[in-house]
Amino acid sequence: MKLEVLEKDNYYHIYNKGINGTNIFETNENKIFFLNQFSKYLINKISIFAYCLMDNHFHFVIRLNDEPEIVTQGFSNFFNSYAKAFNKENNRTGSLFEKHFKRKRLDDENYLKHLITYIHLNPKHHLNLDFTKFKYSSYQSYLSSKETKLEREEVLELFDGLENFIFCHNQKNDFLNEKYTFE
């Protein structure tokens, strides 16, 4: 798979999974640490529009705010720091993630909306869980008034408000019939 070249001011679907399908998160603490490391290495270089952490994979929707080389190095530092800590904690060696993180540029607004919905519905699709209560996705942050590192205002504007954001997420799997592919 040829990797997309990251470009400033563009939106991307960033995702990866554990090598050979292995879990990349064994505990909730792993997920919290992953998000903290993500913030530490990337928060001032990108904007975050959605995320979801499943046991063996993750998804982010981001926009680059900095030069591609700086963002790419931030991702490299982030993934390396997480993998080293995870390996040490779990007494394992070797690669944790598949070779390179996947990235797919988003070129239209409808695709962006569908992808945000897809990512938030991941717990339902993979584990048959209630996505509205899943702790390790950005969905609940959009319903909250608490401070967030997400681009809440921009996303809610994209969906024409909170009510429509919720409505779109509750349309079951209709968006899967669209022309979009997410992985």
Name the nearest CA neighbour of 13 among 45, 68, 59.
59
Q: What pLDDT shows up at residue 163?
A: 96
Q: What mean pLDDT do residues 148-161 have?
A: 96
| pLDDT beyond 60 at 179 | no
Average pLDDT over residues 1-10: 84
Of 10-24, 59-73, 166-180, the one with minimum mean pLDDT is: 166-180
19-66 per-position pLDDT tens digit = 998 999 999 999 999 999 999 999 999 999 999 999 999 999 999 999
Residue 177 pLDDT exceeds 50: no
Q: What is the pLDDT at residue 183?
A: 53
Residue 130 pLDDT level (bands cut at 50, 70, 90): confident
CA distance 52 to 48: 12
pTM of the model as a whole: 0.90
Dihedrals φ, ψ of 15, to 5°? Answer: -155, 160
pLDDT given at position 127 = 74
pLDDT band at 99 (very low <50, low <70, confident <90, very high): confident
Q: How far is CA 43 from CA 87, 132, 178, in A?
A: 24, 25, 31
Domain formed by 11-177, architecture: 2-Layer Sandwich (3.30)
Nearest one of 54, 74, 72 to 183, comparing CA atoms: 54
Q: Looking at the predicted structure, is the pLDDT value of residue 180 above 50?
A: no
The per-residue pLDDT of the chain, averaged, comes to 90
